Amino acid sequence: MPADRKHPYEPRCICNMQAGSQMIKLRGKSKALVRLFYLDEHKSCIRWRPSRKHERAKITIDSIHEVCEGMRTEVFRRFANNNFDPNCCFNIYHGDQVESLDLVSTNGEEARTWITGLKYLLAGISDEDSLAKRQRTRDQYPFNCSGCFLTSCCKWLRQTFSEADKNGDGNLSIGEVLQLLHKLNVNLPKQKVREMFQEADTDENQGSLTFEEFCTFYKLISTRRDLYLLMITYSNHKEHMDLNDLQRFLENEQKMVNVTKDYCKMIINQFEPCSENQTRMVLCIDGFTNYMRSPAGDVFNPEHYQVNQDMTQPLTNYYIASSHNTYLTGDQLLSQSRVDMYAYVLQAGCRCVEVDCWDGPDGEPIVHHGYTLTSKILFKDVVETINKYAFAKTQYPVILSIENHCTVPQQKKMAQHLMEVLQDKLDLSNINVNESRRLPSPELLKGKVLVKGKKLPANIDAEAEEGDVSDEDSGEEDEEEEEQINGDVRFCVLCKFLCRRRKSMRLSRALSDLVKYTKSVRVHDIETQAYMCSWQVSSLNESLTNQIMQLKPAQLVRLNQRQLLRVYPFNYRVDSSNFNPQPFWNAGCHLVALNYQTEGRMLQLNRAKFAANGNCGYVLKPKCLCKGAFNPMLEDPLPGHRKSQLVLKIISGQQLPKPKDSMLGDRGEIIDPFVEVEIIGLPIDCNKQQTRVVDDNGFNPIWEETLVFTLHMPQIALVRFMVWDHDPIGRDFIGQRTIAFKSMMPGYRHVYLEGMEEASIFVHVAINDITGKVTFYYISFLFCINVATEILTVVEGEVHFQNENFLTIYSPPLVKGSTDCYTKEDFLNRRYSDDVSSKDSRSTSQSASLRRPPSPPNTPHHIRKDFLNQHPLPQCSYSAPKNSLYNNHNLAESESSSLSSLDSLDLSTLQSRFPDNQQQTMGTLQREMNALFEQKMREIRCHSPLFLRGKS
């Protein structure tokens, strides 16, 4: 924690917590267990004993959401013989399911000690996102420590060392080291391990490693080959990168613009651990590794941690993060209802929460899942929690989706609680909207709570305190009555509307008046309703929405352009499972409600979706979903628009753990990992590819494989990285990271697996525009050049014929400064032969450092010249933004990006490839592009009239 945030009571609180306290742990309605609670030596988790869970009896500090004083939880309220002193009571909310640990200390001072100490520990993480948490953990990693590596105090490495020291003598024997390496998924030959062990064992006590010696040993086994090759490539075979090398790397590979020397100096001062190297202004392998493993080297665009989209458009132009049955902690039948879930989802970025209201005792409405055995909570407590946490993380509006089953008297009570608790958050009188009655923007509604519910029709007497509301007027489909839908609802294709048995209910004027922009209405006719007033919201279950999407996708898109539509899970999902939200996002559905209490693939997609805009709960929809005709189900939904090609080079993995569900745990075999990449978007874009399997290596597996994807609509796509452990009878899931396509950064990047401290995969990201005449002209041009007979120059897209002694090629992608010079002899030695060429010629081409596509057979000189005259290369339209260090942050809109491969790095050729008098400007992975073009262009040649000429 920074010094300026140091708590004055840290030493006393932390020391007392580490010493331990006898406290009562409440469980259920009557069980009270006396346990010794203490903070572990690393200040990373709370433990207690005795416990049948043994080492698993702990709560990590990072998993704690909140620490509350007093008897605020339902466990305290329901506990039999509840005569505890409130000053001795406190509870800890923790975990993905927001569980509550309810504790009673022996005295009030001891309770305050724990509350103060826990809040101090939480102060360092409460305002940080997951990436910052992970970086704080990596600050404990040996390569990230400032100053001398050997004298650094690294919590992570110390904990690893202590766990490996089985006999507790403060030293590690070779046997203990071998066991540790197996646990860390390191599969090295024993002889190699012994050599590194001996190299690190430098003191008089031979045969064992102290902690400092173990740090040296760990550094020996964890030096990254891939990063080392990358560093020496850009440093021209030096053991460090100077300012020019670093600047060139950032511009050529990471696609940063306006990189200054001062910026490079800042990187060296921040990430280089050696003070001597800092003085010399050079970055060695340790510093380079630190930088590449910092947030600056993450695949996620750092600008997207804040709101980066236009927030002044109508609400109908946004996806809105939404929760289903927000109050539930588990399944839909038997689980607990808790107000804490509202705090959890609101802080997680959710902007639409659901409140199912029913008549309760003593005139107080309650919240629970109707006709089930779920527990009940007070409506007033829910509103108070929403008021407290609605804008804790973001100021953009919260939609309160009320499912009203109450009688009029308790509806009035609901309205009273809403007005008394939320107060000015409900006041929308100062919101100015235009005469078209389009919904206001999230920017205008900052700090406001919108009540979504039924509203009295305009023909009711204005003085009446209540009135009847029919489904035909403004009803909403009740989720609890969904089982009756099959007999009551039918989707009529010919009549193009949804119809249902007409019902009515009695509605209070006070509650009706709180509804303004989000009036609940039933979907009657998706075609005509799209042109009605936009101040309304419809709710459909996933099954009905799917039917509409299959039969009338374009009409559904049109409806979503005009009014809000909420999609919620089908009633048969009693286990609180989630549906795939992507198809509904494809159709522009705004409020795709998910069960936030159920972790899994679907919630991971939801997190990735909304992380693209600072996790504020609102993401701007693509323009085609906001205006105009669009059908997401077509094979070419955007004819005439450019498509994007995503080229992912999966290079390596780092510290991949064994699967959580591994039967043998740490004692099991070392994993055999492979990476699977999935594109999730429009149906035409959905694709999945995987790398080969690397046997027996979870510590630093190397794949070096390129995966290529084509996307018609990248603005809406998600990219999902999954790591699996191959097994003879199947595969075991290790971890994943899902990222919005438009949030991906180009160049060499680390993809950190979600929820894991150190596990990552190292990739290279490139995006290319593959549509239009530009790509065809470039390909045709390459195939028409016969460099043995004609030498020409291509600069800024212009073609010039020159003499036969020199050639300048402007290589793809068209990036300023990417001009490489080669003599005619270089090209004769390096060009690729055609399929019918001799083996000797092919072997020569394969050894070339610069790869070029083959020349087409039977292509006379005059045909090449005529072709160039008729189809000149397009002018380069590249222009770098002036207000950002990164070029084309939004990869969905980028026109081109470099492509290359580490497998092309041959250290023996570095001097000849980059002579001292020639500045290196081409990206190290970029040279692989032509090899990829060769493979793709062979297919094109078979269908191109240019190459069919002269054939029978």
> What's phi and psi for 257, nearest 5 deg?
-120, 160
Separation CA 856–CA 834 (nearest Å): 7
Q: Which amino acid is at 210?
A: T
Number of helices followed by number of strands (H, E) in the chain: 31, 37
Separation CA 71–CA 85 (nearest Å): 9
- Name the catalytic one among 240, 304, 368, 889: 368
Q: Which amino acid is at 728?
A: P
Residue 583 CB contacts under 8 Å (≥ 6 apart), including other chains: 546, 549, 632, 683
Burial group, residue 402, by CB count within 10 angstroms (0-12, 13-18, 19+) = buried
Residue 108 CB contacts under 8 Å (≥ 6 apart), including other chains: 85, 87, 88
Residue 573 token pair: 């999902």
Other CB atoms within 10 A of residue 2 CB: 6
Contact assessment for residue 726 and residue 674, using Cβ atoms and an 8 Å cutoff: yes
Q: Quick check: is 726 catalytic? A: no
Q: Tokens 């045909």 label which residue? A: 863
Q: Of 64, 31, 77, 26, which is closest to residue 377 (Cα–Cα)?
A: 77
- Name the catalytic one among 94, 324, 417, 712: 324
Q: Which helix (H) or strand (E) holds 610?
A: helix 601-611
* CA 226 from centre of chain: 24
Q: What is the DSSP letter of 868?
A: H
Give the per-residue SS3 of 655-678: CCCCCCCCCCHHHCCCCCEEEEEE
- Alpha-helical (H) ranges within 374-456 are 379-389, 408-422
> What's phi and psi for 910, nearest 5 deg?
-60, -40
Q: Quick check: is 324 catalytic? A: yes
In order of 45, 71, 655, 755, the CA distances from 62 in angstroms are: 8, 23, 20, 11
Residue 769 token pair: 């525009």
What is the DSSP code string of 275-333?
HHHHHHT-B-HHHHHHHHTSGGGBSB-GGGGS--S---S-GGGEEE-EESSTTBSS-SS
Q: Of 790, 764, 797, which is closest to residue 927 (Cα–Cα)?
A: 764
Separation CA 737–CA 677 (nearest Å): 10
Contact assessment for residue 24 and residue 33, using Cβ atoms and an 8 Å cutoff: yes
Active site residues: 324, 368
